[in-house]
Amino acid sequence: MAVTLGLVENNVIHYKNKKEAGHRLAMAALAGVYGRNIESSGPIYDSIKVEGSSIRVKFTHVGGGLVAKGGEPLKMFAIAGADHKFVWADAVIDKDTVVVSSSKVAAPVAVRYAWADNPIGFNLFNKADLPASPFRTDDWNWQEK
């Protein structure tokens, strides 16, 4: 599996940049099947730890470190408390983790990143220039609350 975020243009699911999709899939095959020692994926959610009014997100496949592509603040992170209501959040890179918080959520319990059909503005990558995979830490049904 390879993350193809960033390849879709104008909401057309059949992206034109097939070469980059093939490159990402080839890296996954080289590492997973042929045992090459290369970074084959962007950051993948591993775990969270609630730290007061923020949540620290740990990743695998940090590929030499996490980066906010374009040098901008991280985007597309949302956070929720026990009420299950997600709000856009502030997120900062701290070594190989991301710390997520919002002044609107005093006691957070869940985080989502790029959780949309076609997320626009995502920018969490590793230093191997591969995008982070979208994720959610909750398992709430959309019909709840």
Q: Kindly list the domain boundaries of the chain, sorted by start residue.
A: 42-136
Q: Using alpha carbons, select from 134, 136, 55 the residue that is nearest to residue 97.
A: 55
Residue 53 makes CB contacts below 8 A (sequence gap 6+) with: 101, 105, 106, 107, 108
pLDDT one-digit tens code per residue, 107-143: 999 999 999 877 888 999 999 999 999 999 999 876 5
Can you give the pLDDT at residue 143?
54
Can you give the pLDDT at residue 25?
87
111, 55 in Cβ contact below 8 A?
A: yes
pLDDT one-digit tens code per residue, 3-43: 877 777 766 667 777 888 888 889 888 988 999 998 889 99
Can you give the pLDDT at residue 142?
64
Q: Give the architecture-level CATH label for domain 42-136.
A: Sandwich (2.60)
